[in-house]
Structure 1
Amino acid sequence: MRVALGQIGSTADPAANLLLVEKEVARAAAAGAQLLVLPEATMCRFGVPLRPVAEPLDGPWATRVRELAADAGLTVVAGMFTPAADGRVHNTVIVAGPGGPLGHYDKIHLYDAFGQRESDTVAPGTEPLTVDVAGVRVGVATCYDIRFPGLFTELAWRGALVTVVPASWGAGPGKRDQWTLLARARALDSTSFVVACGQADPGEAVSGPAPTGVGGSLVVSPLGEVRARLGPAPDFTAVDLDLREVSRARETIPVLANRVT
């Protein structure tokens, strides 16, 4: 499987961000990718009110992402915001395939950490998600989820050979190192590939405490080896995953089979 990572820097304008999505979809298609992973909050960056920009899954923003995926003949993973019943929003990842929508995931673990309170404005999801992409079972997680190994092992138990992690990682001392360490640890926990795509570092363009990204998107093997890594700026890469590595890793380190429940 060839996967692409589009490390973009989202703005506060969903329409402008769709143009970024269009550009990354074209790059992924030209690179021969079957799967393009974009960051959390692709629809709209953090640090602005989210309820006014939230749209349902059949709204114009998600519809356009599905059109782009269909036209390019690949699967697109992108973060957006959907309305929640209690007046908050869901932090949602949509998975749009060449034949139509494959599913959506509402972030389960909310970022109530490092002085932030995501749960004040975001309602948590409850259900993990796996989807089939080009015959490969793929799990979906979002940003802060990466600190919770149980979700990744559950996705592997559900058949995921690859888990994608759109993110908008918060800046701070040691935070980028933690992001890399956690991606490697979750790959080892689940003996799966981890494809983690974050928002680019906005630098001085965006100020404030909101988690607006540090870059550092990466691809990690089932044995925790970093196979590709981007810097802080907007960037793109495509990586071939040899999925036979998953079965070999699970034979060598059978942590899933040895799990005691």
Structure 2
Amino acid sequence: MRVALCQISSTPDPAANLDQVRTQVAAAAARGARVVLFPEATMVNFAVPLAPVAEPLDGPWATAVRQIADEAGVVVVAGMFTPSPDGRVFNTLLATGQGHHLGYDKIHLFDAFGFQESRTVAPGTDVVTFDLDGTTFGLATCYDIRFPELFRALADKGATATLLGASWGAGPGKREQWELLVRARALDSTSWLLAAGQADPGQVEGTAPLGIGYSTVANPRGEITDQLTGDTGVILVDIDPAEATTTRAAIPVLANRRL
């Protein structure tokens, strides 16, 4: 199963970001990717108000991504924002193409390091997976990675790989935490962890999490197999879902749980 992780830098313009998706998907599909993963906030970055740009999954932006995916014969996974009934938005990870069109609404909101995501974003409640070519993929977003229970729940639903989109906030020690958490969540769910982050936009003001780069792939043993630096770029990786099965036989932490 070949997966592309596209480390882009989203702008405040959804149309411009859609052009980035179109270009990256075409290139990834030409290189044999079956899944093309983009970061959290691909639709628009966190530097602008989110409610005015939020659209439902059947709205123009998500529909355009589905058309891109269908034309390329892949599943595209990309972060967007959808309306919440309470006037806020959901931070949604769209998965579309190959007969799929669904969204995962981020459960754990980034109320940390001086940023309060819950002020404008409502939390999701559902653990979401999808199947492609005999592999079950889980979906997660950014701050979720600090909560191992979600990744174990995805494994319980059959996921042998989790696709995570992030717009990781910069700061002292944040890169080290990112790498540690990606590896830990792969190891304690004994699953592949494919984490695509927003590229580092350079010097910015404020606390909005706009990305640090370092998109990372970790195998079910928690070993980093591929990683980018802070600049835009693409990881193209072949994952073997059977590696999760053999790892779970050798390190049966899921089976051995007591709590």
Normalising by the smaller structure, the TM-score range is over 0.9
- Summarize deviations over 1:215-256 as a string: whole Å, max 9, x none: 000110000110100010110120001222111100100000
**In structure 2, what is the equivalent of residue 151 of structure 1?**
150
CA offsets 1:134-164 (integer angstroms, 9 cap, x no match) = 2210000000000000000000011000001
Q: How many corresponding residue pairs?
A: 259
Aligned partners of 2:74 and 2:191: how far apart in 1? 21
| One-letter amino acid matched to 1:166 | G
Within the candidate set 248, 251, 256, 1:250 is matched to: 248
Residue 71 of structure 2 is matched in structure 1 by: 71
Distance in 2 between the 1:70 and 1:207 partners?
38
Going from structure 1 to structure 2, the CA distance change for 1:244 and 1:74 (only over 3 Å counts) comes to same
Residue 207 of structure 1 and its aligned partner are, at CA, apart by 2.9
**2:229 counterpart of 1:213:** no
> Where does residue 91 of structure 1 map in the other structure?
91
**Residue in 1 aligned with 2:134?**
135
Deviation of 1:133 (Å): 1.8
Residue-by-residue CA offset, 1:175-229 (whole Å, 9 max, x unaligned): 011111000000011000000000000003x432100000000110000110100
Displacement after TM superposition at 1:100 (Å): 4.2
Equivalent residue number for residue 111 of structure 2: 112
The one-letter amino acid paired with 1:38 is F
Structure 2 unaligned residues grouped into runs of 5+? none
- Looking at structure 2, the residues matched to 66 and 82 of structure 1 have their Cα atoms a distance apart, in angstroms, of 15
Aligned 8 A contact 1:70 1:100 in 2: no
**CA contact under 8 A between 1:71 and 1:98: conserved in structure 2?**
no
Secondary structure of 2:107's aligned partner? coil
Moved more, 158-167 or 235-244: 235-244
Which residue of the partner structure matches residue 228 of structure 2?
A: 230
2: distance between equivalents of 1:155 and 1:71?
29
Give runs of ≥4 in structure 1 deviating > 2 Å. none
Partner of 2:31: 31
Separation in 1, partners of 2:134, 2:20 = 28
* 1:213 partner letter: G
Root-mean-square deviation (CA), in Å?
A: 0.8
* CA drift at 1:74: 0.4
Letter in 1 for 2:71: D
SS of equivalent to 2:211? coil
Q: TM-score w.r.t. structure 2 length? A: 0.98
Instruction: Tell me if the contact between 1:97 and 1:133 (Cα under 8 Å) persists in the aligned partners.
Output: no
* Counterpart residue type for residue 35 of structure 2: L
Separation of aligned partners in 2, 1:44 and 1:200: 14
Structure 1: tracts of 5 or more residues without a match: none
1:37-59 deviation digits (Å, cap 9, x = unpaired) = 10000000002100011011111
**TM-score if structure 1 supplies the norm length?**
0.98
The whole-number CA distance in structure 1 between the counterparts of 2:206 and 2:30 is 36
